[in-house]
């Protein structure tokens, strides 16, 4: 990315045209970065036990409390929980400090919830956690299979690259395998709406199909692999007839056959997989089932081919490189890697320490929190992750942390829910302030340069840890004055005694010894970077030699299994969870950017029309999901993109944004036995309408603090540019709340004006503080809301003077007379609403390009193009044959 600075302030960002990964493109969250990391909402000062303190006091408290815990309860009573959103340099220092010097093995990361199954599978199959492919492979493949990946929303830049490649090569085919019809299906030639969790069965049967139809690459298998016969036998232990597989996977047999035929007959196949595969109680095996098919066909180690696990967080890969997972030691060495403990001890010079390096793996995320619950781990430092939202059984995680004797949190945002349970809080620098490196899915190391001074008292994560290390007496081993020194050490460790059999592909010794200037100027480089490959390596295993002791890749037998969270009479529906286009995880940053809140403003549940009917639910009403760990309240979206019997709810909302909308309270802490990754995609829940007596929208000026009262059964907070919008739902006993008295009693200024429409039970009121709009209230369902941008602008202080009496009357209506309602925002980058798009279509703009030319929608990040296409389809059918609409929706599943 490139940043535009004006008088030391970030005023705009753009894609870096020179960067090989994005070639100048940005997604909408990227292009809103300058809005999400400004001063508003940042964590600025350290706190100990709720009191603001100096940095010296905070660091002293961290060091002394960690030391006390360790000396009293042993090294294993201390833990670190890290994140793929740290820079590699931060990660390296954390790993070294906790494993090397504090001597605890319990260092795990949120990558456990994300990449752990993919990592475990690569290690089993290739002998190393090494992604064989590069992004270019997507462009030169003839067949791209997207499994459990909603690329259009979650990797929009890569999606646009793939789309452009498909336009250049009309023979390229794309297959999407996902239980939901997502926006990614827009460019699919074939869609398999698979039954949740049945992927291993599908790929096992593909392996068998390849064998039966004589489309395995025997030469490749013989020379470069082992285990084919066993893998095939396991696959064929189940009935592999197309009918049987199709029935179990819930797909059409003919389409399944088409997929098998395409895959088997094509050499240049990339299978790109993500959380629909990883977040499973058998995720490692699912990845293996995919890898087996690639190895059997020799579809690997050549351009346009390979099993490609795509990462999500900016630096998930960097964390894997330093060895930030609990089962790893450092730099792609595990504890059981022969000689590794001794090697790392010598490199870090920890021989003389007590305790020395741990002698075996530590606890993986879910287990780690169980150990906190049992009181075995008594101190945990949480960095750049929000586990009270993102871990399964999240309500319990929050209770566990609240009781843990020492919780240290470093974060950069003040609204991170984990701060609620922290004893010591430290403000970290954010993007554009931080300086270091990150690695992406294709092993490409990029510099992220610090451009702005730290905000408030924020400090770099590595610097915070270095200061703590010094207080613990380890100053000599943590002398870093600049991230380039950390990177140098990391690069040297990667190449340290790394040669011969069982070599470690992660070797960036070619980047060791960079001067600070050279580090600053470092161009994006794909590892390995060694004396043999000084400019990096785009593709791995081209010579068919793998990182296993015998140099062969392993096919392994896979026994498919179903989701472990089982459905029951009480919890009859399968809950799928995941992401929405414009939000990032727990919303600490994206939840504050107005334009990112417009695409999906409230927590929601997607429900198939048949289920909606069964459970008595209509579109847009409030509903409640219940699972073993708690409940979730949100707005229903009745959609045909869901399979009947399955629901989808976003992972994003939490206590900072809504009353009961944390989806992980519904997900059980069941994990894959090999990778330890939770089964986040397959919850079991019940569904019912949420009974409310009223719904209301309250908008309060930014500086007015408001919290919903106890009579709200539902609330969601939605940031506007100059105000906060609260969407509220009231308990049945509150049916005849006297709103005007309520407003007078509960809002900072009383009612200035109001209007009532008794026939429809609607009321509008607003309060002015002198000339300034202070609050605005509308009682009635949110469908009746006007477009809010005009009203939002009225809350801006600058408008004080213009809020003359005649404008005040318009404020009550919520819109300047004649101001068009833009409708739901479709294009977030250019803030183009549905109504404008519909109007343009009706006016004759009949393609995505024509709409882009007129309204600019879809021309920046492109991630709304699938929605534009769907709107075009909808409007054009409506224009030609009004009755066709329902039919079209019903056909949507089938026609893809």
Ligand X SMILES: Nc1nc2c(c(=O)[nH]1)N[C@H]1C(S)=C(S)[C@@H](COP(=O)(O)OP(=O)(O)OC[C@H]3O[C@@H](n4cnc5c(=O)[nH]c(N)nc54)[C@H](O)[C@@H]3O)O[C@H]1N2
- Closest distance between ligand X and the C-beta of residue 261, in Å? 20
Burial group, residue 500, by CB count within 10 angstroms (0-12, 13-18, 19+): exposed
Stretch that binds ligand X, among 442-450, 533-541, 578-586, 854-862 (CB under 6 A): 578-586
Tokens of 315: 């630096």
Q: Which does 199 bind (CB under 5 to 8 A by kind): ligand X, Mo ion, none?
A: ligand X
* Residue 319 binding Mo ion, by CB under 5 A: no
State the Cα–Cα distance between residues 868 and 265, nearest whole angstrom.
34
Single out the residue of 819, 793, 816 nearest to residue 806, CA to CA.
816
Single out the residue of 648, 534, 652 nearest to residue 589, CA to CA.
652
# of chain residues touching Mo ion (CB under 5 A): 2
> In the bound complex, which residue of the shown chain has the CB atom lying closest to ligand X?
312
Residue whose tokens read 């008295």: 741
Q: Which does 413 bind (CB under 5 to 8 A by kind): Mo ion, ligand X, none?
A: ligand X
State the Cα–Cα distance between residues 307 and 270, nearest whole angstrom.
6
Q: Which does 83 bind (CB under 5 to 8 A by kind): ligand X, Mo ion, none?
A: ligand X
Q: One symbol per residue from 417 to 456: x for binding ligand X (CB under 6 A), - otherwise; what is it?
A: -----------x-x---x----------------------
Task: Give the strand pairing for 694-701 and 436-439.
Answer: unpaired
State the Cα–Cα distance between residues 847 and 825, nearest whole angstrom.
18
Q: Which does 411 bind (CB under 5 to 8 A by kind): Mo ion, ligand X, none?
A: ligand X
- Closest distance between Mo ion and the C-beta of residue 859, in Å? 28
User: Are the C-beta atoms of 754 and 763 separated by less than 8 Å?
Assistant: yes
* Residue 110 binding ligand X, by CB under 6 A: yes
* Residue 148 binding Mo ion, by CB under 5 A: no
User: Are the C-beta atoms of 63 and 471 separated by less than 8 Å?
Assistant: yes
- Closest distance between Mo ion and the C-beta of residue 275, in Å? 7
Rg (CA), the chain: 28
Q: One symbol per residue from 677 to 716: x for binding ligand X (CB under 6 A), - otherwise; what is it?
A: ---xx-----------------------------------
Q: Which does 20 bind (CB under 5 to 8 A by kind): ligand X, Mo ion, none?
A: none
Q: Which residues contact 609 (CB under 8 A, 6 or more apart)?
A: 638, 639, 640
Cα dihedral across residues 481, 588, 58, 404: positive or negative: negative
**Closer residue to Mo ion (CB): 343 or 652:** 652
**Closer residue to ligand X (CB): 412 or 696:** 412
* Residue 384 binding Mo ion, by CB under 5 A: no
Q: Which does 681 bind (CB under 5 to 8 A by kind): Mo ion, ligand X, none?
A: ligand X
User: Are the C-beta atoms of 876 and 846 separated by less than 8 Å?
Assistant: yes
State the Cα–Cα distance between residues 463 and 86, nearest whole angstrom.
13
**Segment 385 to 424, residues that bind Mo ion, using CB under 5 A:** none
* Residue 620 binding ligand X, by CB under 6 A: no
Stretch that binds Mo ion, among 260-268, 305-313, 472-480, 817-825 (CB under 5 A): 305-313
Identify the residue among 197, 276, 283, 312 touching Mo ion (CB under 5 A): 312
Stretch that binds Mo ion, among 108-116, 136-144, 221-229, 278-286 (CB under 5 A): 108-116
Identify the residue among 22, 77, 313, 665 touching ligand X (CB under 6 A): 313
Stretch that binds ligand X, among 259-267, 614-622, 661-669, 699-707 (CB under 6 A): 661-669
Helix locations, 74-184, DSSP H? 88-95, 116-126, 135-140, 151-154, 156-168
Identify the residue among 97, 143, 147, 687 touching ligand X (CB under 6 A): 147
Stretch that binds ligand X, among 116-124, 384-392, 395-403, 783-791 (CB under 6 A): 384-392
Q: Which residues contact 150 (CB under 8 A, 6 or more apart)?
A: 178, 180, 182, 183, 184, 274, 578, 579
State the Cα–Cα distance between residues 329 and 319, nearest whole angstrom.
12
* Residue 114 binding Mo ion, by CB under 5 A: yes
User: What b/e string do you get for 2-17 counting C-beta neighbours within 10 Å, with b at 16 or more?
Assistant: ebeeeeeebeebebbe
* Residue 274 binding ligand X, by CB under 6 A: yes
Helix H or strand E encompassing 67 = helix 55-73
Site for ligand X, rule CB under 6 A: 83, 85, 110, 113-114, 147-150, 153-154, 177-180, 182, 194, 196-197, 199, 274-276, 279, 312-313, 383-387, 389-390, 410-413, 416, 428, 430, 434, 461, 576-579, 581, 583-586, 588-589, 651, 663-664, 667, 680-681
Site for Mo ion, rule CB under 5 A: 114, 312
């Amino acid at each position: 990315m490139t940043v535009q600075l004006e008088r030391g302030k970030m005023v705009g960002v753009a894609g870096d045209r020179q960067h090989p990964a994005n070639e100048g493109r940005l997604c909408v969250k990227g292009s809103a970065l300058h809005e999400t990391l400004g001063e508003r909402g940042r964590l600025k000062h350290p706190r100990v036990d709720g009191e603001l303190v100096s940095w010296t006091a905070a660091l002293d408290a961290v060091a002394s409390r960690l030391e006390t815990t360790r000396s009293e309860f042993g090294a294993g009573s201390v833990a670190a929980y890290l994140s793929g959103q740290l820079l590699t340099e931060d990660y390296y220092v954390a790993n070294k400090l906790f494993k090397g010097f504090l001597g605890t093995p319990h260092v795990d990361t949120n990558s456990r919830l994300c990449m752990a199954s993919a990592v475990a599978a690569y290690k089993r199959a290739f002998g190393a956690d090494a992604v064989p492919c590069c992004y270019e492979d997507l462009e030169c493949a003839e067949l791209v299979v997207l499994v459990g990946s909603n690329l259009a929303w979650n990797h929009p830049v890569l999606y646009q690259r793939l789309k452009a490649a498909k336009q250049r090569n009309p023979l390229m085919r794309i297959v999407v395998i996902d239980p939901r019809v997502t926006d990614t299906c827009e460019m699919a030639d074939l869609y398999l709406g698979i039954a949740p969790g049945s992927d291993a069965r599908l790929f096992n049967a593909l392996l068998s199909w390849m064998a039966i139809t004589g489309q395995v690459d025997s030469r490749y298998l013989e020379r470069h692999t082992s285990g084919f016969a066993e893998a095939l036998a396991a696959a064929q232990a189940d009935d592999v007839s197309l009918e049987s597989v199709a029935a179990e996977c819930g797909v059409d047999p003919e389409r399944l056959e088409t997929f098998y035929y395409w895959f088997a007959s094509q050499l240049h196949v990339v299978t790109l997989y993500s959380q629909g595969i990883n977040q499973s109680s058998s995720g490692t095996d699912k990845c293996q089932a995919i890898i087996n098919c690639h190895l059997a066909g020799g579809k690997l180690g050549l351009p346009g081919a390979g099993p490609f696990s795509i990462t999500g967080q900016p630096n998930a890969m960097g964390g894997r490189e330093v060895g930030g997972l609990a089962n790893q030691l450092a730099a792609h060495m595990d504890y059981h890697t022969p000689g590794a403990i001794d090697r790392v001890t010598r490199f870090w010079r920890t021989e003389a320490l007590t305790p020395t390096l741990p002698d075996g793996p530590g606890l993986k995320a879910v287990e780690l929190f169980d150990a906190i619950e049992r009181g075995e781990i008594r101190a945990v430092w949480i960095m750049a992750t929000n586990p009270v939202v993102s871990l399964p059984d999240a309500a319990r995680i929050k209770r566990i942390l609240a009781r843990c004797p020492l919780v240290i949190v470093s974060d950069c945002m003040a609204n991170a829910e984990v701060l609620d349970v922290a004893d010591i809080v430290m403000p970290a620098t954010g993007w554009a302030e931080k300086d270091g490196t990150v690695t992406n899915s294709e092993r490409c190391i990029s510099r992220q340069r610090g451009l702005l001074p730290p905000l408030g008292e924020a400090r770099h994560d590595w610097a915070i840890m270095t200061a703590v290390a010094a207080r613990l007496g380890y100053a000599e081993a943590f002398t870093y004055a600049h991230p380039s020194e950390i990177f140098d050490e990391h690069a040297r460790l990667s190449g340290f005694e790394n040669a011969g059999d069982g070599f470690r592909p992660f070797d960036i010794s070619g980047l060791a010894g960079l001067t600070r200037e050279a580090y600053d100027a470092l161009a994006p480089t794909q590892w390995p970077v060694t004396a043999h490959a000084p400019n990096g390596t785009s593709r791995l295993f081209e010579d068919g030699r793998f990182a296993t002791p015998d140099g062969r890749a392993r096919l392994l037998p896979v026994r498919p299994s179903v989701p472990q969270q089982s459905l029951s009479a009480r919890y009859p529906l399968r809950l799928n969870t995941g992401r929405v286009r414009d939000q990032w995880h727990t919303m600490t940053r994206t939840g504050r950017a107005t334009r990112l809140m417009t695409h999906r403003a409230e927590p929601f549940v997607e429900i198939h029309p048949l289920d909606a009917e069964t459970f008595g639910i209509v579109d847009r009403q409030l509903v409640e999901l219940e699972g073993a760990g708690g409940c979730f309240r949100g707005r229903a979206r009745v959609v045909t993109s869901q399979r009947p019997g399955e629901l989808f709810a976003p992972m994003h909302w939490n206590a900072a944004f809504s009353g009961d909308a944390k989806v992980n309270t519904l997900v059980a802490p069941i994990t894959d036995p090999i990778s330890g990754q939770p089964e986040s995609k397959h919850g079991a829940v019940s569904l019912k309408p949420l009974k409310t007596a009223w719904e209301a929208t309250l908008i309060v000026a930014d500086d007015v603090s408001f919290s919903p009262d106890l009579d709200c059964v539902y609330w969601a907070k939605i940031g506007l540019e100059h105000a906060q919008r609260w969407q509220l739902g009231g308990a049945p006993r509150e049916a005849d709340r006297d709103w005007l008295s309520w407003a007078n009693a509960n809002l900072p200024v009383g009612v200035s004006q109001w209007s009532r429409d008794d026939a429809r039970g609607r009321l509008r009121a607003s309060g002015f503080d002198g000339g300034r709009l202070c609050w605005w209230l509308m009682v009635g369902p949110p469908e009746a809301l006007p477009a809010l941008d005009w009203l939002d602008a009225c809350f801006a202080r600058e408008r004080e003077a213009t809020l003359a009496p005649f404008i005040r009357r318009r404020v009550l209506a919520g819109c300047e007379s004649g101001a068009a309602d833009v409708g739901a925002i479709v294009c977030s980058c250019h803030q183009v609403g549905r109504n404008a798009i519909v109007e343009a279509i009706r006016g004759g703009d009949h393609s995505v390009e024509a709409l882009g030319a007129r309204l600019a929608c879809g021309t920046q990040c492109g991630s709304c193009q699938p929605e534009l296409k769907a709107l075009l389809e909808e409007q054009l059918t409506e224009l030609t044959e009004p009755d066709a609409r329902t039919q079209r929706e019903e056909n949507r599943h089938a026609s893809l």
